[in-house]
């Protein structure tokens, strides 16, 4: 993970980006594009959760709080102050990061991971219930609507960039941009000294601390960056779907889905959360008829993937090539 | 062996560590001069590792003080003590399993460099120093017990300490490689390192240590040269006698 990237990796990433850019021109289908956009939102969310849990080993189950905070913050700033979504998504991400640092400071001192899991989950429930009860501001369960859309503009050589429900193309490209930014940030971080410290901390806190690593500082850094990215994904989601309810934006279903995505894709890998997000979003769509039983399927998927491919889809290729030791570097 | 200077590097003053009802270390005092090698001896459960934990910051003593270079570090966290110049190895080795051998050592050398490339370069010298050069890129989880002990040593040295606490580094290492380890410690000592070693091997102690402290049930019961300790009646009774019977 801390060795220079090979040419093969660069080429693979470049090819994937080219494919993602070309995709809407190949399949011109609004519904399919919608699924792609949802997958991307979840890919950002899952990658950020994986940063904290997979790379840093902090078992947090309350990250949907930051998704909701990002979504509502961006929507409310737009509705009440008339600010542009181009600005408010970043403000909302910063607010989510501050919330992350705020809740992270006491939590990260807890060394027992089951306690961390429960406290973070409870924190997210508090956020959801608060949003649901602040009806004067959030309209509670009635749902927050009238969320401004991204303003369009003219792009030289390319033409008009528009964001409205019937034209998904630019939402797709914007989401893709945010995804690349998020993964780029995570990869830069994890492949630097910060990443080395973070992985050491995950593998052995006492040893890491004895070698001069300030545990609290790195945990807080990782937690803050992760909350920022999840908040950003939530903010984009708000302006994309243009209506928010506490259950849709902060419901515990969200985190269950994200955990399933990361475990199926590959915990502690770069590509796993992205693969998992796409697989489960499309699978979820095709299982739509099952309605409430979908969570049951996700549960079964988590169990099956842990049993048969404990390191997820991301490492399945190297599993067949029998080089499990290198698999984490993907 | 270079002769120790008179300046106290480490002072432990009346330190006690109580776990619930168990007194693991009781009113322990010791002074360590820069350049000295001190051996900490005693039977299982005597409180040797607990003493290391208090010096390295993994435990905060229930009472008493710890001074390093005259500075009170009693409540300082382990990472702060590491940066101050105190390094330790763990009796029960704690390799970072998902990292390679050299990456394990890079965690130690990281603070001294800005780039990962330089960090790796320095780390490799420590990997080679402990004789793990051929294993540098292997995952740490593939190492044998003896190799893990060496990795502990390389990782601790990579932080460039002035005081190194070595907890049973020769334990589990195959007998043939013990002279190499002894020579290595002598070399590091010659370069200015001060050490406290927890050791059961009497030959290693007499070859390395200037002074030894013998503990039992948390208390210091004898202090002197390794030869004096080996001849001390209580020690013979408690420890060597026990070994002779075994
Ligand atoms: N964190 C802890 N909590 C409770 N008891 C502890 C803890 N650490 C050590 N002890 C107890 O304190 C006593 C001293 O333990 P310590 O590990 O310091 O002994 P030691 O001299 O290093 O022994 P050994 O030669 O077996 O390594 C033992 O009875 C041990 O069980
Ligand atoms: Mg011990």
| Structure tokens belonging to residue B210 | 């200037």
| Distance, CA of B87 to CA of B164 (rounded, Å) | 5
Q: With respect to residue A201, please indicate whether it lies within any of the assigned structural domains.
A: yes
Q: Quick check: is A38 in a domain?
A: yes
Rounded CA separation A272/A311 (Å): 9
Distance CA B74, CA B66 (A): 5
Local confidence pLDDT in tens for the 246 residues of chain B = 445 555 699 999 999 999 998 999 999 999 999 999 999 999 999 999 999 999 999 999 999 999 999 999 999 999 999 999 999 999 999 999 999 999 999 999 999 999 999 999 999 999 999 999 999 999 999 999 989 999 999 999 999 999 999 999 888 788 888 999 999 999 999 999 999 999 988 899 999 999 999 999 999 999 999 999 988 888 877 765 555 444
* Secondary structure (3-state) at A283: helix
Q: Whose CA is nearest to atom 18 of ligand 1?
A: B47
Q: pLDDT tens digits for B88-128?
A: 999 999 999 999 999 999 999 999 999 999 999 999 999 99
Cβ distance of A206 and B58 shorter than 8 Å: yes
Tell me what pLDDT residue B240 has.
54
Contacts of B115 (CB under 8 A, 6+ apart): none
* Total Cβ atoms within 10 A of residue A103: 22
pLDDT digits (tens, 9 = 90+) for A178-189: 999 999 999 999
Establish if A95 belongs to a structural domain.
Answer: yes
- Identify whether A35 is part of a domain: yes
The parent domain of residue A213 ranges over 7-329
In a domain, A49, yes or no: yes
Contacts of A204 in chain B (CB under 8 A): 94-96
Q: How far apart are CA A124 and CA A130, in angstroms?
A: 10
Q: Is the CB of B45 under 6 A from ligand 1?
A: yes
Q: Relative to the CA of B20, which ligand 1 atom is closest? A: 4
Q: Would you say the CB of residue B146 lies under 6 angstroms from ligand 1?
A: no
Q: Which atom of ligand 1 is nearest to the CA of B25?
A: 14
Q: Is A49 helix (H, G, I), strand (E, B) or coil?
A: helix
Strand partners, B38: B196, B211
C-alpha angle B154/A212/A117, rounded to 5°? 115
Distance CA A104, CA A226 (A): 11
pLDDT reported for residue B129: 95
* Within-domain flag for A1: no
- What the block records as the tokens of A125 is 């429930």
pLDDT of residue A246: 95
Dihedral-angle region of residue A14 (phi above 0 means left; psi in -120 to 50 means alpha; beta otherwise): alpha
Inter-helix orientation angle A64-81/A113-133, to 10° = 30
Residue at A296 is within a domain:
yes
Strand, helix or coil for residue B25:
strand
| Three-state SS sequence of A25-68 | HHCCCHHHHHHHHHHHHHHHHHHHHHHHHHHCCCCCCCCHHHHH
For chain A, what's the residue count? 330
Give the CATH number, domain containing residue A324: 1.10.3470
Local confidence band at A323 (pLDDT 50, 70, 90 cut-offs) = very low
How many domains in chain A? Answer: 1
Question: Is A11 part of a structural domain of the chain?
Answer: yes
Q: What is the pTM of this model?
A: 0.89
Going by C-alpha positions, the residue among A69, A74, A67, A73 that lies closest to residue A49 is A67
Which three-class secondary structure state does DSSP give residue A60? coil
The answer to whether B119 and A193 have CB atoms below 8 angstroms apart is yes
Question: Which chain B residue has its CA at the smallest distance from A325's CA?
Answer: B139
Q: Is A311 on the interface with B (CB under 8 A)?
A: no
Among chain A residues, the shortest Cα distance to B155 is held by: A211
**A87 vs A311, more confident:** A87
Q: Measured between CB atoms, does A329 come within 8 Å of chain B?
A: no
Cβ B199 vs Cβ B178: under 8 Å: no
- How far apart are the C-alpha atoms of B150 and B140, rounded to whole Å? 11
At how many degrees (to 10) do helices A215-241 and A64-81 cross? 50
């Amino acid at each position: 993970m801390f060795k220079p990237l090979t040419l093969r990796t660069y080429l693979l990433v470049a090819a994937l980006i080219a494919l993602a850019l070309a995709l809407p021109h190949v399949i011109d289908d609004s519904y399919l594009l919608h699924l792609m956009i949802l997958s991307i939102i979840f890919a950002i969310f899952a990658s950020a959760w994986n940063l904290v849990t997979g790379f840093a080993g902090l078992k947090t189950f309350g990250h949907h709080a930051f998704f909701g905070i990002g979504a509502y913050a961006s929507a409310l700033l737009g509705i009440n102050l008339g600010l542009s979504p181009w600005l408010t998504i970043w403000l909302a991400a910063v607010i989510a990061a501050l919330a992350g640092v705020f809740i992270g400071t006491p939590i990260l001192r807890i060394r027992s991971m089951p306690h961390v899991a429960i406290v973070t989950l409870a924190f997210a429930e508090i956020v959801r219930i608060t949003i649901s009860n602040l009806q004067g501001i959030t309209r509670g369960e009635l749902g927050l609507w009238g969320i401004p859309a991204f303003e369009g503009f003219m792009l030289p050589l390319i033409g008009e960039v528009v964001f409205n429900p019937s034209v998904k193309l630019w939402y797709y490209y914007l989401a893709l941009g945010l995804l690349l930014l998020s993964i780029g940030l995570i990869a830069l971080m994890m492949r630097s000294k910060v990443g080395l410290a973070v992985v050491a901390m995950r593998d052995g806190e006492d040893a890491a601390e004895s070698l001069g690593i300030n545990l609290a500082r790195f945990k807080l850094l990782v937690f803050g960056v992760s909350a920022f990215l999840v908040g950003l994904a939530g903010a984009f989601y708000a302006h994309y779907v243009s209506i928010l309810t506490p259950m849709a934006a902060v419901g515990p279903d969200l985190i269950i889905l994200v955990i399933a995505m990361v475990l199926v894709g590959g915990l502690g890998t770069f590509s796993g959360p992205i693969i998992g997000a796409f697989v489960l979003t499309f699978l979820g769509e095709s299982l739509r008829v099952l309605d409430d039983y979908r969570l049951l399927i996700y549960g079964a998927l988590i169990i099956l993937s842990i049993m048969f491919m404990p390191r997820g889809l991301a490492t399945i290729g190297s599993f067949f090539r029998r080089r499990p030791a290198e698999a984490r570097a993907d | 062996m270079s002769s120790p200077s008179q300046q106290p590097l480490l002072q432990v003053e009346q330190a006690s560590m109580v776990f619930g009802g168990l007194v693991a270390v009781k009113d322990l005092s010791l002074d360590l001069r820069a350049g000295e090698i001190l051996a900490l001896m005693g039977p299982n459960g005597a409180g040797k590792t607990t003493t290391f934990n208090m010096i390295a910051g993994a435990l905060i003593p229930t009472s008493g003080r710890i001074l390093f270079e005259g500075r009170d570090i009693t409540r300082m966290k382990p990472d702060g003590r590491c940066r101050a110049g105190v390094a330790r190895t763990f009796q029960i080795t704690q390799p970072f399993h998902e990292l390679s051998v050299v990456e394990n050592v890079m965690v130690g050398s990281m603070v001294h460099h800005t780039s990962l490339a330089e960090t790796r370069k320095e780390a490799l010298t420590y990997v080679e120093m402990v004789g793990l050069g051929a294993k540098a890129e292997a995952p740490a989880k593939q190492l044998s017990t003896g190799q893990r002990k060496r990795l502990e040593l390389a990782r601790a040295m990579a932080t460039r300490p002035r005081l190194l606490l070595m907890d049973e580094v020769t334990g589990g290492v195959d007998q043939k490689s013990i002279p190499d380890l002894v020579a290595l410690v002598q070399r590091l000592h010659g370069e200015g390192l001060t050490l406290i070693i927890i050791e059961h091997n009497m030959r290693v102690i007499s070859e390395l240590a200037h002074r030894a402290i013998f503990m039992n049930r948390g208390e210091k019961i004898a202090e002197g040269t390794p030869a004096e300790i080996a001849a001390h009646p209580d020690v013979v009774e408690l420890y060597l006698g026990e070994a002779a019977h075994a």
